[in-house]
């Protein structure tokens, strides 16, 4: 922003103030009429003349700083005015026209208190430069409120008027049962005051209030998001501090995990400077804030203030945001690429359907059953591959022992064995890879599923938060100060699944390689620590999913396939001449080439 120019009148004003204040200091001590002695300090009172002089000095200071706007920044009694509908309640201050409260009706925070997105934690200001070089801020002006009803919409006009023909006004319009507010700033008769060669500026700051039990978990999904260019979406870092300058911005969202404050300009912002600062200190009810957001936007000046916006205050619920057709539903991160597509196309519609007639906990279980049944062919192929590797394991160990000093030959013989037996070592990996998109999509879905917020199931009073069954008198690093039960059950299920599959490794432990058994057994413990503070709905899904996987494997093992039959089939395959093809052929050829190169090096 351009600095103020030197104003000779302002300089003269400050000199006069200095002279007057010096004279006051020299002559302010009153004298007793009888003794002609100065009155004791405790008896000194301010005379009407001195008060009048102080007011005059203050008026001179305001006049020097604000010019013709001095009367609009005179200290006045601050009053508050409300604007509300069936779902929202706002409070505005006449000092600066600031929004001091935005209360969402029908929602509470983790302490069962009213849920406010704004509670003396927001600052909105438009600044502009006058022709005589002053930079003025709407946040310094006093406004007069006026409420009206226009075609069923509640309208609040906050006006700061120099006179009947020169004024600046904020206008808020709110329809029934809507979380979207129409917001604008307009001025009239300011062409002779505002310098249209210098850009105006919008500043919007917000310190995000804590609304969830775990501030650390909530902060992972509290972030500044923005839409830009052709419906692209990006966000600032969720951890630490971040600042960016971005162009062609369609909307800005100050997300607070399950709730959002989104500003949508009528005309895209050409350039925006945005910043996010994490101010979460540690867990504890005394921690009230998660992040501090700030946005600075240069705005084109036309000699008047004329800017229009839509302003959303409400839940970060995909269906609710999508109905506005502004692209703001993309502020909810369901995962990138195929993971987000799976959530939006499959899991969101499926879960919405199930939860429309089932309790939310039961809906999670039913959805998990559907997903596991849909993935059962993959589970079957994966298990068959594991059985084949288990059957061939003694022969692989024999080859390893025989060629322990010749890695190339060992790999050659092992691949030849797999080829003869009709087994593919990759066939066990591919089914697992096919499940990864589903696994990650659901990992992204549950933490941002607004429908789970404050929904109870069994001992969990909130499926969107952790399900504490015991509060610890101390804090365990990386674990927390409580014990959640669903992560324990999920870890136990993973442990039993690991025991069922650990004995079916493809090959014995290779020298210098990490012990995969140890890593596999560490996974349940890692999950126990990682998910202790996560949404209990996610832990419930993993528990049920792993239990179902174990059941499916037992059914396949005992009723669908037989290890004896697979062994007999492998022995039959060995008798048949089999030509290597595809991946096996390429791998075998590569190993033969490597063996040739090794022999050539040995002859030199």
**Maximal CA-CA distance, the chain:** 133
Highest-scoring range by mean pLDDT, 24-38, 46-60, 76-90, 273-287: 76-90
Measured at the CA of 422, the angle between CA 420 and CA 424, to 5 degrees, comes to: 110
**pLDDT confidence bin for 42, thresholds 50/70/90:** very low
Tell me which residue of 180, 179, 144 sits closest to 162, measured CA to CA: 144
How is 10-37 classified by DSSP, letter by letter? HHHHHHHHHHHHHHHHHH-S-B-TTT--
How is 177-219 classified by DSSP, letter by letter? T-SEEEEEEEEES-TTTB-TTS-EEEEEEEEEEP-SS-HHHHH
Q: What is the pLDDT of residue 472?
A: 87
- Name the E strands within 380-509: 468-476, 480-484
3-state secondary structure of 71: helix
Q: Sheet holding 99-108: strands in order across?
A: 80-84, 88-93, 99-108, 114-119
The answer to pTM > 0.85 is no
Q: What is the pLDDT of residues 389-428, one digit of tens each?
A: 777 777 777 777 777 777 777 777 777 767 766 666 666 5
Distance CA 349, CA 342 (A): 10
Strands 306-315 and 259-265: antiparallel
Q: What is the pLDDT of residue 512?
A: 47
How is 72-100 classified by DSSP, letter by letter? GGS-----EEEEE-SSEEEEEESBTT-EE
Distance CA 459, CA 469 (A): 8
Q: What is the pLDDT of residues 561-604, one digit of tens each?
A: 766 677 676 666 666 655 555 555 565 566 566 666 665 665 55
Contacts 24+ apart (CB under 8 A), 276-281: 276/223, 276/224, 276/236, 276/237, 276/241, 276/242, 276/243, 277/241, 278/219, 278/238, 278/239, 278/240, 278/241, 279/207, 280/215, 280/216, 280/219
Q: What is the pLDDT of residues 311-369, one digit of tens each?
A: 999 999 999 999 999 999 999 999 888 888 999 999 999 999 999 999 999 999 999 99
Note whether 140 and 126 are within 8 A (CB): no
Strands 224-228 and 306-315: unpaired
User: In the numeric block, which tokens belong to residue 598?
Assistant: 């090794």
How is 256-310 classified by DSSP, letter by letter? ETTEEEEEEESS-EEEEEEEEEE----SSTT--EEEEEEEEEEE---SS-EEEEE
Give 403's DSSP letter.
Answer: T
């Amino acid at each position: 922003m351009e600095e103020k120019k030197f104003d000779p009148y302002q300089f003269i004003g400050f000199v006069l103030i200095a002279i007057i204040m010096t004279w006051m200091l020299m002559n302010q001590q009153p004298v007793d009429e009888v003794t002609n002695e100065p009155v004791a300090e405790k008896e000194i009172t301010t005379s009407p003349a001195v008060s009048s002089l102080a007011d005059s000095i203050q008026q001179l200071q305001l006049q020097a700083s604000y010019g013709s706007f001095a009367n609009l920044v005179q200290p006045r009694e601050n009053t508050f005015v409300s604007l509300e509908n069936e779902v929202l309640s706002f409070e505005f201050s006449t000092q600066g026209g600031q929004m001091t409260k935005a209360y969402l009706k029908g929602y509470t925070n983790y302490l069962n208190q009213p849920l406010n997105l704004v509670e003396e934690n927001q600052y909105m200001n438009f600044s502009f430069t006058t022709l005589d070089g002053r930079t003025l801020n709407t946040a310094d002006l006093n406004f007069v409120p006026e409420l009206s009803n226009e075609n069923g919409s509640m309208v609040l006009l906050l006006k700061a008027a120099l006179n009947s023909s020169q004024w600046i006004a904020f206008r808020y319009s709110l329809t029934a049962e809507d979380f979207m507010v129409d917001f604008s700033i307009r001025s009239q008769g300011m062409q002779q005051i505002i310098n249209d060669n210098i850009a105006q500026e919008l500043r919007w700051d917000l310190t995000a209030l804590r609304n969830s039990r775990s501030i650390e978990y909530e902060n992972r999904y509290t972030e500044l998001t923005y839409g830009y260019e052709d419906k692209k979406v990006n966000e600032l870092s969720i951890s630490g501090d971040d600042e960016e300058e971005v162009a062609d911005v369609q909307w800005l969202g100050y997300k607070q995990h399950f709730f959002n404050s989104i500003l949508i300009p009528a005309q895209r912002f050409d350039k925006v400077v945005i910043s996010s600062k994490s101010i979460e200190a540690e867990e504890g009810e005394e921690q009230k804030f998660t992040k501090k957001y700030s946005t600075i936007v240069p705005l084109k000046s036309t000699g008047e203030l004329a800017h229009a916006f839509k302003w959303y205050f409400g839940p970060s619920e995909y269906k609710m945001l999508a109905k506005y057709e502004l692209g703001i539903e993309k502020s909810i991160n369901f995962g990138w690429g195929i993971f987000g597509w799976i959530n939006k196309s499959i899991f969101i519609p499926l879960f919405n359907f199930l939860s429309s007639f089932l309790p939310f906990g039961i809906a999670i279980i039913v959805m998990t059953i559907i997903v596991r049944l849909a993935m059962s062919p993959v589970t079957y192929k994966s298990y068959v591959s594991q059985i084949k590797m288990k059957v061939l394991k003694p022969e692989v160990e024999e080859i390893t022992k025989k060629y322990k000093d010749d890695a190339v030959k060992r790999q050659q013989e092992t691949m030849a064995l797999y080829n003869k037996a009709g087994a593919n070592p990759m066939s066990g990996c591919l089914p697992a890879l096919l499940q990864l998109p589903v696994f990650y999509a659901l990992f992204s879905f549950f933490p941002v599923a607004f429908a789970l917020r404050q929904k109870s199931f069994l001992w969990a009073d909130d499926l969107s938060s952790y399900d504490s069954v015991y509060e610890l008198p101390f804090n365990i690093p990386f674990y927390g100060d409580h014990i959640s039960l669903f992560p324990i059950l999920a870890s136990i299920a993973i442990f039993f699944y690991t025991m069922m599959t650990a004995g079916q490794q493809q090959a014995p432990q290779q020298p210098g390689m990490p012990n995969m058994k140890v890593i596999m057994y560490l996974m349940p413990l890692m999950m126990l620590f990682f998910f202790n503070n996560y949404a209990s709905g996610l832990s419930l899904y993993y528990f049920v999913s792993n239990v179902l996987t174990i059941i499916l494997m037992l059914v396949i093992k005992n009723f669908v396939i037989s290890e004896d039959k697979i062994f007999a089939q492998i022995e039959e395959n060995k008798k048949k001449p089999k030509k290597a093809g595809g991946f096996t052929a390429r791998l075998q050829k590569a190993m033969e080439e490597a063996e040739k190169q090794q022999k050539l090096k040995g002859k030199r």
